[in-house]
Amino acid sequence: MPQKNKGKWAYRQEIGNASAVERTNSSEFKLKDFYGPKDFKENYDSKLASPGEYPYTRGIHKDMYRGKLWTMRMFSGFGTPEDTNGRLKLLLSQGETGLSVAFDMPTLYGLDANSERAHGEVGKCGVNVSSLKDMEVIFKGIPLDRVSTSMTINAPANILTAMYAVVGEKGRVKKRDLAGTVQADILKEYIAQKEWLYPPEAHMRIIRDMMVYCTNSMPKWNYISISGYHIREAGASAVQELAFTLADGFEYVKLGIENGLDVDSFTPRLSFFFNSSINFFEEIAKFRAARRIWAREMKETYGAKNDRSMKLRFHSQTSGYSLTWQQPLNNIVRTTVEGMAAIMGGTQSLHTNSYDEAWALPSEQAVEVALRTQQILAYETGIPDVIDPLGGSYYIENLTDKMEEEAYKYFHTINGMGGVVKAIKNGYLQREIAATAYAQQRKVESGEAKIVGVNAFANKNEEPINVLKIDLKAERIQRKRLEELKAKRNSNRVQKSLEKLKEVYSGDENSMESIIEAVKNYATLEEITNVGREVFGGWKEPTIL
Amino acid sequence: MEGTNDTLKRRIRILVAKPALDGHDRGVLVLAKAFRDAGMEVLYAGLLPTPEKVAKIAVDEDVDVVALSLHNSAHLSAFPEVKKWLKKLGASDIQVVGGGIIPPADRKRLEKLGITGNFGPGTPLEQVIEHVRKVAKKKWKMDQ
C-alpha cells in the first residue's frame, strides 16, 4: 500500500489532479464531466409528471412532506423485553413517531433463549423473544391503537405477527386496527442476509398464508417489506440493489395473483425498504427509478387499476457498511448526507444510523444524535419544502434513466433463468453480490476508492469510545422466564395446538389461525418453528465461492 | 514479497467459517476470495456451522489455519469454543485467527486464549494475509 507513508499534502495534490481520471459510481456507470440537455430525453408527462401522478417518478404524494413529514423510525431493541420496553418508551417521549423493533439472532433463527445454539447471543443484537410472554412485556404500556410498529423479523415473521395480534387483542385493540410492518421478505434472506429456516418453496407458502390472512383480517398490517437494504449491505451496487429488490417484489405480486387474490386487493400493502448510501446523486436516482419501474410494471404487466397498487412506498436506512470504526464521529457526517439523499429521493420513513455502529449496538447518546440529525434536516434545512428538488437536473434525470435501463437488463437475466427462486437456487444472485463486494474491497485496497480515516487521512491511534455493553444477564433472565413459563402453561393445550399446526403445514390450508392458536397457548418460538423443520426440512445454500 | 517462497514450497490450507448464528457473510466471502488470490487453498464451512463442526472440518481437511469471522457479538463464546474443540481433537497446532466487530478489550481476552489477529472493520486485506502467512509458518515449525 504505497499511500501509507504519504502525508496529508500528498493527498491533496493527488485529489486535486484527479479530474482527468475516469469517474464511476457504485453501479459502475461512467460519469461525464457535466450533463446537458442532450443527456436527457425529456418527455415530462410520461416519464416524470407532477408528484402524486403516474408514474410517480417525482413522488407518490401531491403534497409530500408539506402534508406530512417522513416518519422518523429508529430501529431499537436489545437485552431483555424489559430493557427494550424502556428504550421504546424513551424514544416515544423524545418525539419519535413510529416504533421499530430489532430482535436478537436466536429469535431471527427461530430458536428459544435456552437453545444450545443461543448461548452467548441472547439479547445481543436485539431483544429476545422466546414466547408470547416476552412480547407482552415489550409492548407493556404502549398504546398499540395509536402507534405503528415495525418489526425486523423474517423467517419467523408469521409467528411474530400472530404474537402481536394476540398482544393487541389482550389490550382490546382489534386485529383490524393494528398498524405495522413485519419484514418477512424471505427472498432477500436467501440472496443476502441468509437467515432462513426452511427451503424457499416452504417459506413462499408461509408468505402466501400471511398475505391472504392479512388481506382479509389485518388490513393495516404490512405483512411484507421488500428489502434491498441487506442486498446492498451484503455488497451489491445501487443498481443491483434496485434490480434484485424489484424482482423480488414482482415475485410476491405473482404469488398473490396465482393464489386467487385480486391484484388491487393486496398490492397496496406491499412496501419497500431501501438502503441510502454515500454516493448522493446515485441514491436519489435509484429511488426515483424504483418508483417509475414499479408503477409501470404494476399497471402494464400486472394489470393494477388502483393508484395505490402502483405507488411504491418505502422506508430507508442509511448505510451501516459506509460507516467506519476509525474516527467514529465522522460517521455523523456520512449519515447526514445519506439521510439527505433519502429525503430528496422521497422516502416515507427513515432510520439514521448511530455513529458508533461499527463499534457496537448504539449507545443512548449516539441514538439521540442520529434522531436529532433527522430533526435538523426536517425543521432547519428547508429541504422538505419543495418536492423532488433535483427533478429536471440533467445529471439526475440521466442517472435515473440509466438506473432503469440497467435494472431491466437484470430483470431479463433473472427471467431467463426462470425467476428469482431459480436464480437463488443456482447461486447467481449471491455470486453477483459477492463479486461486487470483492471488487469494491479491491478498490479500497488499491486506494482507488478513498475512505476518510481508513485509507486516507488516517490517524495512528484510535481512542476507544464509550459503547453500550450487554452482559449475559439477559440470557440468564430469559432462560429463567422460559423455565417458569413451561412449568406454568397448560402443556396439553400446547401439544394439541402444535399437532394441529403440523397437520395444517403438511397440507395446503392457511396456517395463520393455527399459528395464532399455538402462540396463545404459549407454545414457544422454537417449538413452533420445529414443527416447520419437521414438515419442510432445512436448506443449504448453493456454492457461492 | 515475503511468503512467495513458502507458497512455492507449500500452499497454505485455510478454512474460513462463521461459527455462530450469523448470516452476515460479506466479510468472510471477501476474505475467502482474497486468500485464494494470494495463492492459498481455501475451504468455506458454509453458514451456521457449530464450533464443533468447524473444528472437525479443520481436522478432517488437515488445514493450517482456521479464520473465524463474526459480526454478532458472539466472538467471546464462539471463538474459544472452536479452539477448545481443536484441542479435544488433538489438533492444537491448527492456528485460529479471528475478525469482525471485536471491541479492544475483547481482543486482549481472545489473544490470551491463543486466538490471534482479531481484526476489526477497515483492516487492509494485505495485513490479514500477512498475518495468516505468519501463523501458518508457525504451525509448520510446530509440526516439524
For residue A5, pLDDT beyond 70? no
pLDDT given for residue A158 in this prediction: 98
Per the model's pLDDT, the better-predicted residue between A276 and A357 turns out to be A276
Beta-carbon separation of A360 and B73 below 8 A? yes
Cell of A297: 410494471
Task: Look at residue B136 and tell me if it is in a domain.
Answer: yes
Q: Give the closest of B26, B50, B73 to A235, CB-based.
A: B26
Find chain B residues with C-beta within 8 A of A275's C-beta: none
pLDDT value of position A460: 86
Q: Is residue B73 part of a domain?
A: yes
- How many Cβ contacts (< 8 angstroms) between chains A and B? 99
Query: Residue A469's pLDDT band (boundaries 50, 70, 90)?
Result: confident
CA-CA distance, B41 to B13, in Å (whole number)? 5
How distant is the Cα of A77 from the closest Cα of chain B, in angstroms? 14
Question: In Å, how far is A193's CA from the nearest CA of chain B?
Answer: 6
Residue B17 belongs to a domain? yes
Instruction: Identify the closest residue of chain B to A544 by CA–CA distance.
Output: B29
Q: Cβ contacts (< 8 Å) between B101 and chain A: which residues?
A: 358-360
Question: Which chain B residue has its CA at the smallest distance from A321's CA?
Answer: B121
Domains of chain A from N-terminus onward: 30-446 (3.20.20.240)
Q: Is A434 in contact with B29 (Cβ distance < 8 A)?
A: yes
Q: What is the pLDDT of residues A284-302, one digit of tens each?
A: 999 999 999 999 999 999 9
ipTM of the complex as predicted: 0.91
Q: How many structural domains does chain B have?
A: 1
Q: Which residues of A touch B14 (CB under 8 A)?
A: none
Measured at the CA of B82, the angle between CA B78 and CA B86, to 5 degrees, comes to 165
Give how far A389 is from chain B: nearest CA, Å.
35
> Can you give the CATH number for the domain in which B39 is found?
3.40.50.280
User: Taking 80 as the threshold, does the pLDDT of residue A14 lie above it?
Assistant: no
Q: Are B16 and B38 in contact (CB under 8 A)?
A: no
DSSP labels, A320-370:
STT--SSSTTHHHHHHHHHHHHHHHTT-SEEEPPPTTTTTSSPPHHHHHHH
Least confident interval from A148-152, A261-265, A516-520, B13-17:
A148-152
Q: In a 3-state reduction of DSSP, which class is residue A536?
A: helix
pLDDT at site A20: 58
Dihedral of alpha carbons A120, A126, A131, A136, sign: positive
B2 assigned to some structural domain: no
B34, B42, B74: residue with CB nearest A121? B74
For B45-86, how does the pLDDT look when each residue is reduced to its tens digit (9 = 90+)?
A: 999 999 999 999 999 999 999 999 999 888 999 999 999 999
Domain span holding position B100: 11-143
Q: Is the pLDDT of residue A138 over 90?
A: yes
| CB proximity A468 to B under 8 Å | no
Q: How many CB atoms lie within 10 A of CB A534?
A: 12
Taking the Cβ of residue A125 and every Cβ of chain B, the question of whether any pair is shorter than 8 Å is answered with yes
Q: Do B126 and A445 touch (CB under 8 A)?
A: yes
Helix (H, G, I), strand (E, B) or coil at A149: strand
